[in-house]
Amino acid sequence: MTERRNVPGDHLLPVTIDIPPKLDPREWNEIAGNLFNEIRGQGLPVSCGLGDADRLKWVNDELGHATGDRFLQAIETTLDVRHNSAELLASGRSFGRRVGGDEFKLLIVADSQGAEAYKKRVLAGVTSYLNLPENRQIKDIGAGLSLGMATASPDDNVSFEELMHQADQAMYAEKRKLLELNRKQRIGAFVMNEVGRLFGVSPQVYAERVRNFSDKK
């Protein structure tokens, strides 16, 4: 029997899909594509996302696959996973899954502002996990989540595949920014280490002296 739930704007969306806990990429695309068309048919905005777990290989190699698996599970938890489309489509719930080794795909009933708020919440959840004392080694490796989002308004003439491609491009833009940040941090650490060595002090002591000098200025 088809169930119906209220969603933002007093639209009613028919709920017909039970979503299995585990999905392969093909199954996710099929379910998400059907939900995308259903949402669009009701004249609602829809956003898609693509995420990639950063430096997972380093986590697995240095800390073990069990630690890597826990990290991936923590990311999936932040996606607000729902197992049926009643939960998904009510009040902008998300349909997010790990669909590959380190890849996550998302679909949410939301405009661009709602998608950005959702993205911030997911990234904040990942950051909170990495900031736990027991996860310091994962954080020190530089692990994280690169997440790209793309939105289609009710008037946009865009397909599910096109929107996912936009999200993919946005994700790679996020990953490039992270790589550049990591590069600058590595260069900064190298410079501090070399300068500290020349002055006969540890990098930490030298950095403290620089901070103290800057404060006086």
Which pLDDT score, from 0 to 100, does residue 40 have?
A: 87
Nearest to 48 by CA among 175, 155, 168: 168
- HSE value, Cβ hemisphere, 13 Å, CA-based, for 3: 13
The angle, 0 to 180 degrees and rounded to 10, between the axes of the packed helices 65-78 and 112-130 is 150
90 in Cβ contact with 103 (< 8 Å): no
**Structural domain includes residue 153:** yes
Quick check: is 202 in a domain? Answer: no
199-208 tens-digit pLDDT: 565 656 655 6
Mean pLDDT of the chain: 77
Is 37 within the bounds of a domain? Answer: yes
Instruction: Say if 170 falls within a structural domain.
Output: yes
* CATH code where residue 57 lies: 3.30.70.270
With H, G, I as helix, E, B as strand and everything else as coil, classify residue 19: coil
Q: For strand 46-54 and strand 103-108, is the pairing parallel, antiparallel, or unpaired?
A: antiparallel
CA distance 195 to 211: 15
For residue 92, tell me if it sits in a domain.
yes
Q: State pLDDT tens for residues 42-75.
A: 888 999 999 999 989 999 999 999 999 999 989 9
Provide the number of structural domains found in the chain: 1
Q: Is residue 97 situated within a structural domain? A: yes
Section 161-181 average pLDDT: 86
The two tokens of residue 216 are 């006086």
| Structural domain harbouring 10 | 3-174
Give residue 206's pLDDT: 55
